[in-house]
């Protein structure tokens, strides 16, 4: 959702929620409801309709309590309220371990709780109004999300599949697989997903052989296949099957060494299977192994609550930084800029300290730019224009919050200073200077905890983190293979290996301050590896939930052997495997190839 469409949604949310709030008797808390709805909107959109509604089912009660309870508790004990807010922020900092979809969920939860605590009402409000404000915000966003997705609830899933097919990156493929599983899985989209993973595995193997053989013919085949993949992606996007999809235009190879010709045939067959699925559109449901979604969450969380998990250490740093900011804010009760200070501190702190530095620059640099614009406004226009300009800046800022964060931060200066100076009858120049000083202080607090290295925690470089994560996953795959073969594998051993693999996966991207910074290209390779290894943990877990034919154990053990090597082997698919097991093994093959490509990048730098 971009451009005018997003602006319309923001206007509907702000105007609709505030209007309903006043009508329902929320009084001054109606503004709190309207602005809380914006934070809820951040978390409510990002996946297919049914998946987002399931997420809102548990997120909504948590948001209501996170916005209302700390504020009410603060009237009894300020320190108890600060302690509760720190716990909420730590939980928000841990949510991203559940996947990229939960990055915005954690952001929305953390920002909404701090906003609800620090927002200054123009008058008094009862406990019912304080709790009713976020409840109304959640209710409106729920109805809005249904209205936005009712016409085509599966559109995000198809878009993700098409993007993954056209782009061919591990990140887009992992997102497509997650959305497909989170949605109501259909057979035709499952076949597209399986064909996409077979296509990804075949192109990865051919790319490796092209480099070794310096073969121009293999390169031409890969280019032709990419063109066909882009064409088929356009056939997957629409809600209805196109009237006619041309068969895949194959470019047959000449004399190629070894079994390369067979891999080329598998490449074209995978694209043809996608064309067939997109044409037939079998809408029947896929029999996803019972409990797989729950198992996916368990695996992702298993390594989060550990001192060895970088995400856990980041969440603690984030909680400590926000705690210090809350203590500083407690010495200035009633300050209308408290919200901006708290949100600035929270937003700057990131799992990777290089990203924290970038966020600090975006916040402070954007604030300075906004201050220049505001100074011109004060010089050229009467003070009465500050409030409408602030409202316009609020809408414009939220519409570019993710794409142009520096501009967003500049818009927040106009909004915060303009609205507070007008409604509180303050000198806008004084408010502007105070705002800039608070943003500098927020950056200092965030970077203090973002750069703080924890004593006794190892600081391995990119290659060492890669080898550790691959080794942990290889050990896990080996145990799963033995279990599928019927050997006696202690469940506690499997549990420890799942946990160790999850911790190692978290450590790939969230490096400890003071570690060697990745060279150009290594960061992308680490991200690709993290997505692929997480996918391997999930797919092997599904095999334990629903064991397949006897040859499945051979496929898993071959994946364990080839994982992380430059000789990415083909993963055998048993001839008697059903569609669901073929999909799982196709995903394993694609992930093994992705890790092999990343190994070449990391070790070649």
Give per-residue pLDDT as tens, 483-527: 888 787 777 777 777 777 777 777 776 655 556 666 666 777 777
In a domain, 225, yes or no: yes
pLDDT for res 83: 93
When mean pLDDT is compared across 74-78, 115-119, 259-263, the lowest value belongs to: 259-263
Please tell me whether residues 404 and 480 are part of one structural domain: no
CB atoms within 10 A of CB 489: 18
In a domain, 374, yes or no: yes
pLDDT band at 442 (very low <50, low <70, confident <90, very high): confident
pLDDT band at 389 (very low <50, low <70, confident <90, very high): confident
| Summary mean pLDDT of the chain | 80
pLDDT band at 605 (very low <50, low <70, confident <90, very high): very low
pLDDT digits (tens, 9 = 90+) for 87-128: 999 998 888 877 777 888 888 898 889 988 888 776 677 888
CA end-to-end span of the chain: 38
Range of the domain at 416: 353-439
Instruction: State the Cα–Cα distance between residues 443 and 450, nearest whole angstrom.
Output: 10
Please tell me whether residues 496 and 380 are part of one structural domain: no
Q: Is 186 helix (H, G, I), strand (E, B) or coil?
A: strand
Instruction: State the Cα–Cα distance between residues 304 and 318, nearest whole angstrom.
Output: 15
Please tell me whether residues 478 and 396 are part of one structural domain: no
Instruction: State the Cα–Cα distance between residues 581 and 417, nearest whole angstrom.
Output: 58
Please tell me whether residues 486 and 375 are part of one structural domain: no
pLDDT digits (tens, 9 = 90+) for 204-238: 878 777 777 777 888 888 888 888 888 998 889 98
Q: Is 285 helix (H, G, I), strand (E, B) or coil?
A: strand
| pLDDT for 455 beyond 60 | no
pLDDT for res 284: 84
Residue with more model confidence, 545 or 278: 278
Please tell me whether residues 426 and 533 are part of one structural domain: no
Please tell me whether residues 498 and 585 are part of one structural domain: yes
Cα Rg of the chain, angstroms: 26
Q: Please give the C-alpha separations between residue 580 and each of 196, 281, 285, 479, 539, in angstroms, as whole numbers.
A: 14, 17, 11, 22, 11
Instruction: State the Cα–Cα distance between residues 355 and 528, nearest whole angstrom.
Output: 18
pLDDT digits (tens, 9 = 90+) for 568-579: 566 777 777 777
pLDDT for res 545: 67
pLDDT for res 89: 92
Instruction: State the Cα–Cα distance between residues 67 and 127, nearest whole angstrom.
Output: 12
Listed in sequence order, the residues at least 6 apart from 384 whose beta carbon sits closer than 8 Å to its beta carbon are 422
Please tell me whether residues 532 and 424 are part of one structural domain: no
Q: Are 90 and 319 in contact (CB under 8 A)?
A: yes
Please tell me whether residues 269 and 171 are part of one structural domain: yes
Instruction: State the Cα–Cα distance between residues 160 and 189, nearest whole angstrom.
Output: 11
Instruction: Tell me which of 228, 245, 280 is where a domain ends.
Output: 280
In a domain, 177, yes or no: yes
pLDDT digits (tens, 9 = 90+) for 335-350: 888 888 888 888 888 7
In a domain, 581, yes or no: yes
pLDDT for res 80: 92
As beta bridge partners, residue 285 has 186
Closest CA to 59 of 117, 145, 154: 145
Please tell me whether residues 475 and 432 are part of one structural domain: no
Q: Please give the C-alpha separations between residue 445 and each of 219, 294, 323, 405, in angstroms, as whole numbers.
A: 51, 37, 10, 20
pLDDT for res 452: 58
pLDDT for res 88: 94
Instruction: Write out the two tokens for 388.
Output: 């409408």
- Secondary structure tally for the chain: helices H, strands E: 23, 0
Q: pLDDT above 90 covers what percent of the chain? A: 5
Listed in sequence order, the residues at least 6 apart from 417 whose beta carbon sits closer than 8 Å to its beta carbon are 374, 386, 390, 428, 431, 432, 435
Q: pLDDT above 70 covers what percent of the chain? A: 86
| pLDDT for 12 beyond 60 | yes
In a domain, 536, yes or no: yes
In a domain, 547, yes or no: yes
Please tell me whether residues 422 and 484 are part of one structural domain: no
**What is the count of structural domains for the chain?**
3
In a domain, 592, yes or no: yes
| pLDDT for 306 beyond 70 | no
Instruction: Write out the two tokens for 198.
Output: 């077979």
Residue with more model confidence, 52 or 502: 52
pLDDT band at 532 (very low <50, low <70, confident <90, very high): confident
Please tell me whether residues 415 and 475 are part of one structural domain: no
Instruction: Tell me which of 408, 439, 470 is where a domain ends.
Output: 439
Instruction: Write out the two tokens for 346.
Output: 């929270």
pLDDT for res 520: 65
Q: What is the mean pLDDT of residues 320-339?
A: 87
Pairs from 428-436 (Cβ < 8 Å, separation ≥ 24): 428/374, 428/378, 428/383, 428/386, 429/378, 431/336, 431/337, 432/371, 432/374, 432/375, 434/337, 435/337, 435/340, 435/367, 435/371, 436/367, 436/368, 436/371
Residue with more model confidence, 579 or 428: 428
Instruction: State the Cα–Cα distance between residues 57 and 78, nearest whole angstrom.
Output: 30
Q: What is the mean pLDDT of residues 290-300?
A: 62
Instruction: State the Cα–Cα distance between residues 478 and 554, nearest whole angstrom.
Output: 10
In a domain, 446, yes or no: no
Closest CA to 345 of 365, 360, 333, 330: 360
Instruction: Tell me which of 220, 248, 280 is where a domain ends.
Output: 280
Please tell me whether residues 501 and 599 are part of one structural domain: yes
């Amino acid at each position: 959702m971009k451009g005018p469409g997003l602006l319309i949604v923001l206007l509907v949310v702000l105007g609709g929620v505030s209007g309903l709030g006043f009508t329902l008797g929320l009084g001054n808390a109606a503004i709190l409801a309207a602005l809380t709805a914006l934070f809820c909107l951040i978390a409510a959109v990002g996946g297919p309709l049914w998946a987002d509604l399931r997420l809102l089912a548990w997120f909504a009660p948590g948001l209501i309590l996170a916005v209302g309870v700390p504020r009410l508790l603060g009237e009894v004990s300020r320190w108890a309220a600060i302690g509760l807010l720190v716990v909420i922020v730590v939980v928000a900092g841990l949510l991203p371990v559940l996947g990229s979809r939960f990055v915005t969920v954690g952001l929305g939860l953390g920002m909404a709780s701090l906003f609800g605590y620090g927002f200054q009402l123009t008058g008094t409000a009862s406990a019912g109004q304080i709790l009713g404000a976020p409840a109304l915000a959640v209710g409106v966003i729920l109805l809005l999300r249904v209205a936005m997705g009712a016409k085509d609830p599966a559109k995000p899933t198809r878009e993700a599949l098409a993007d993954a097919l056209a782009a061919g990156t591990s990140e887009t493929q992992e997102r497509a697989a997650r959305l497909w599983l989170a949605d109501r899985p259909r057979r035709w989209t499952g076949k597209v997903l399986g064909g996409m993973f077979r296509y990804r595995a075949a192109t990865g193997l051919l790319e490796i052989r092209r480099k070794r053989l310096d073969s121009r013919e293999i390169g031409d085949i890969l280019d032709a296949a990419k063109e066909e993949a882009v064409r088929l992606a356009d056939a997957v996007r629409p809600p209805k099957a196109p009237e006619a999809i041309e068969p895949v235009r194959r470019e047959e190879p000449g004399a190629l060494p070894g079994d390369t010709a067979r891999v080329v045939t598998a490449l074209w067959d995978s694209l043809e299977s996608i064309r067939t699925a997109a044409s037939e559109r079998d809408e029947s449901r896929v029999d996803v192994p019972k409990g797989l979604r729950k198992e996916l969450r368990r695996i992702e969380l298993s390594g989060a609550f550990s001192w060895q998990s970088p995400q856990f250490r980041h969440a603690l740093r984030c909680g400590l930084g926000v705690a210090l900011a809350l203590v500083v804010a407690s010495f200035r009760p009633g300050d209308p800029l408290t919200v901006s200070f708290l949100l600035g501190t929270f937003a700057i702190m990131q799992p990777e300290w290089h990203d924290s530095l970038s966020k600090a620059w975006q916040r402070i640099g954007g604030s300075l730019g906004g201050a220049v614009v505001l100074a011109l406004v004060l010089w050229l226009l009467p003070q009465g224009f500050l409030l409408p300009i602030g409202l316009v800046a609020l809408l414009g800022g939220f519409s570019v919050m993710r794409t142009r964060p520096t501009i967003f931060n500049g818009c927040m200066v106009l909004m915060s200073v303009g609205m507070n100076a007008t409604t509180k009858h303050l000198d806008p120049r004084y408010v502007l200077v105070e705002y800039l000083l608070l943003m500098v202080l927020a950056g200092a607090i965030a970077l203090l905890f973002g750069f703080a290295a924890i004593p006794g925690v190892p600081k391995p470089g990119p290659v060492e983190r890669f080898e550790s994560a691959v080794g942990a996953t290889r050990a896990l795959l080996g145990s799963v293979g033995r279990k599928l073969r019927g050997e006696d594998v202690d469940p506690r051993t499997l549990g420890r290996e799942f946990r160790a693999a999850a911790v190692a996966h978290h450590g790939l991207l969230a490096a400890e301050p003071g570690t060697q910074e990745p060279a150009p290209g290594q960061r992308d390779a680490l991200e690709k590896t993290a997505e692929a290894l997480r996918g391997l943990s999930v797919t092997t877990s599904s095999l334990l939930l629903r064991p397949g034919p006897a040859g499945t154990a051979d496929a898993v053990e071959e994946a364990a052997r080839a994982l992380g090597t430059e000789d990415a082997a083909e993963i055998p698919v048993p001839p008697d495997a059903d569609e669901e097991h073929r999909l799982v093994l196709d995903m394993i093959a694609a992930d093994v190839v992705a890790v092999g490509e990343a190994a070449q990048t990391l070790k070649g730098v």
